[in-house]
Amino acid sequence: MRYIKVIMAAWVIYASFYLCRVNYSVALPFINSELGITFTSLGIIASAFFISYSIGQVINGYLGVKYRPWGLLIVSIVGSSVMSLLFGLSMSFPIFLALWLINGYFQSVGWPILVKVVAIILSHGDLFKGYAIFNTSWALGHALSWLLTGLIVEHYGWRWGFIINSMVFSVISIPLVLYLMRHVSSLKATEPDADGSRNGSHHIMFRKHVVVLLVLALVYSIMYAIRYALIVYLPSYVHYVERHISTFLITIVLFPISGSIGMISLGFLFNKVVMQRRLMLITAISILIAVLLLTFPLCFEESIVLGLINLTLLGASLYGAESQLASAIPVALIGRKYSSLAAGIIDSAGSIGAFISSLISGMIIDSLGFNAMLRFWGYMEMVSLILLLALIVIIKKTY
């Protein structure tokens, strides 16, 4: 595969974004116990992040079509690092809310911009395999960030999970952005897009893709909502069920690690099948996700081993399907030129789902408990089945 060094540099940059994103979920139960902020209020803070993140995804996706990415990436890295640092030094709910709202916008730059960088350097034949590798950045980025933050919190307290992470983020990512700036000399594709047009020779007829893009966005929003309900509240759930820090860390990092395996497996499989079969496979995976969500509390509370098996399958299924909806599928359908905008719109819809998820999940936990929250999202996953079936019909008629 060509340009593997560039893909890996983009991989590390995007994985590092999670140092100043999911540190919040690891610190959440400790903020709750130390400062007495309710899970509903903490859910509001998480939801505020996704308000600005969602808006920023569309804005920065558009800017990715018009401008070169390097300045955008550096500003976002520095801005997010500063917000995380200040969060670790703050004390009150209003300040936490404001800082995490601003952080959401800075964090929104990374995905659409890096999706386009990766799209430009991949040949069409390597598209699904390339994204299978790159997409593991947000699965393993979660795992590594959770693990690092958990160790920091255990030894130094939750505030240092924000302070140290902010420094590590900047130190790792800024040199790699400069590396990409030197090695990706042009953002013009050299091979035809999926529809046969060349970027730079004439514009893609983007309008014909709008319906497909909107349905993809709706399906993705449900899966994103489920994943972020687990990302934000799974550490707290495991903390209350299994209080040993070693078991706690192993359990919560298993979810995204198994997700990365699902991403690679599904990506290489999708490289060999046509679009309709890809969507049929995602539909089958959606059914599996719903079943696993509904049975996870029973498995985990009955046996740690059964719970870990369930969580492994859930992570592989959820991350695998979601990663294809967020990157390779829209790029294959819509093309490279508008890839940052398509990725921004789809991820923006996901962020809206995460906003709703963070708020509703906290309310359900406060009133009915963690198990009720997991059952709720299991039922919601069923809704995506109808949308996926509709998407298969639409693509069959349109492409």
Q: What percent of the chain has pLDDT over 70?
A: 89
In the predicted model, what is the mean pLDDT of residues 362-386? 88
In the predicted model, what is the mean pLDDT of residues 18-34? 88
State pLDDT tens for residues 231-278: 778 777 777 776 555 566 666 678 878 888 998 888 888 877 777 788
pLDDT in the model for residue 139: 80
pTM confidence score: 0.76
40 versus 57: the higher-pLDDT residue is 57
Q: What angle, 0 to 180 degrees and rounded to 10, lies between the N-to-C axes of helices 39-66 and 210-241? A: 150
In the predicted model, what is the mean pLDDT of residues 342-369? 84
Q: What percent of the chain has pLDDT over 90?
A: 28
State pLDDT tens for residues 102-132: 999 999 999 888 988 888 777 666 777 788 8
172 versus 371: the higher-pLDDT residue is 172
pLDDT in the model for residue 221: 92
Residue 358 has pLDDT above 90, yes or no: no
Could you tell me the pLDDT band of residue 195, with boundaries at 50, 70 and 90?
A: very low
Residue 145 has pLDDT above 80, yes or no: yes
State pLDDT tens for residues 151-192: 898 889 999 999 999 999 999 999 999 988 887 765 454 444
Q: Residue 393 sits in a domain of what CATH number?
A: 1.20.1250.20
State pLDDT tens for residues 314-338: 999 999 998 888 877 887 777 777 7
pLDDT in the model for residue 124: 63
Residue 209 has pLDDT above 80, yes or no: no
Tokens in use for 130? Answer: 């390339």
216 versus 124: the higher-pLDDT residue is 216
pLDDT in the model for residue 248: 62
State pLDDT tens for residues 292-316: 999 988 888 788 788 889 989 999 9
Question: How many domains does the chain divide into?
Answer: 1
Give residue 223's domain range. Answer: 4-398
